[in-house]
Structure 1
């Protein structure tokens, strides 16, 4: 059974030091019911998966220029922005991932086909969200 939305799988390199990188499988998820956000997961070990949720717009901005001021920073690197660096920081630690921009961009473009930029609010079912919140 797959993820009920848009998903892509790719590999990025976890930068563990100046001369040390480790390949990690990465998955990106997008749900039209949460149209402003993307979810980003990567396996740090066979038993530990790290999940981050951040703004879809942040990912889009970070592939063409430095973006982010908080826990998530995204920067294009290399000739013609062929690679993307994603830095994730939390009280538990810091992870720096680098990978090819093309698969990230292709997947991101597909999310904009599902919910175009500027139309995110029309994809949110406020009544159902309120019903769910009030039921708890």
Structure 2
């Protein structure tokens, strides 16, 4: 199935302990119809996919400094020339820490800002459709 937006497929390390890392396929999705959010997913197993919504702004800020509060935190790690990105996810079901290439995420995010420039997200939100969806439930 093709995603109607921008997609990044990368390999990340799921940090399972001090000396245990498991490589997992991860995907980031961006749609101009949901301009504030990035959908993030990673495969724990072929049948177990974990999905999260991350604020695009938090992901962008996390490339250069710790960002996020609550259930999603994004932090750069390592030297600038070989930087990785750490994404920490917390829920009632457990916690996950993933690390991956910051350069790939940075290049992909730049494309999202070409589609929807920072500060202009509200121009891409269809308020009428959003209200209809909210009121239908």
Give the TM-score of the pair, scaled to structure 1. 0.95
Alignment partners' CA distance in 2, 1:134 and 1:84:
38
Give the drift of 1:129: 2.0
**Offset of residue 133 of structure 1:** 3.3
**1:10 counterpart SS class:** strand
Structure 1 residue 62 displacement after superposition? 0.6
Matched, 1:131 2:132: yes
Instruction: Note if 1:108 corresponds to 2:109.
Output: yes
Between the aligned partners of 2:6 and 2:14, the Cα distance in structure 1 is 24
Aligned equivalent of 2:121? 120
SS at match of 2:88: strand
Instruction: Quote the Cα distance in structure 1 between the aligned partners of 2:133 and 2:97.
Output: 36
User: What is the Cα-based RMSD across aligned positions, in Å?
Assistant: 1.2
In structure 1, the gaps of 5 or more residues are none
- Residue 27 in 1 paired to residue 27 in 2? yes
Q: Give a deviation string over 1:77-108, Cα, whole Å, max 9, x none.
A: 00106111110010100100001101111111
Structure 2: tracts of 5 or more residues without a match: none
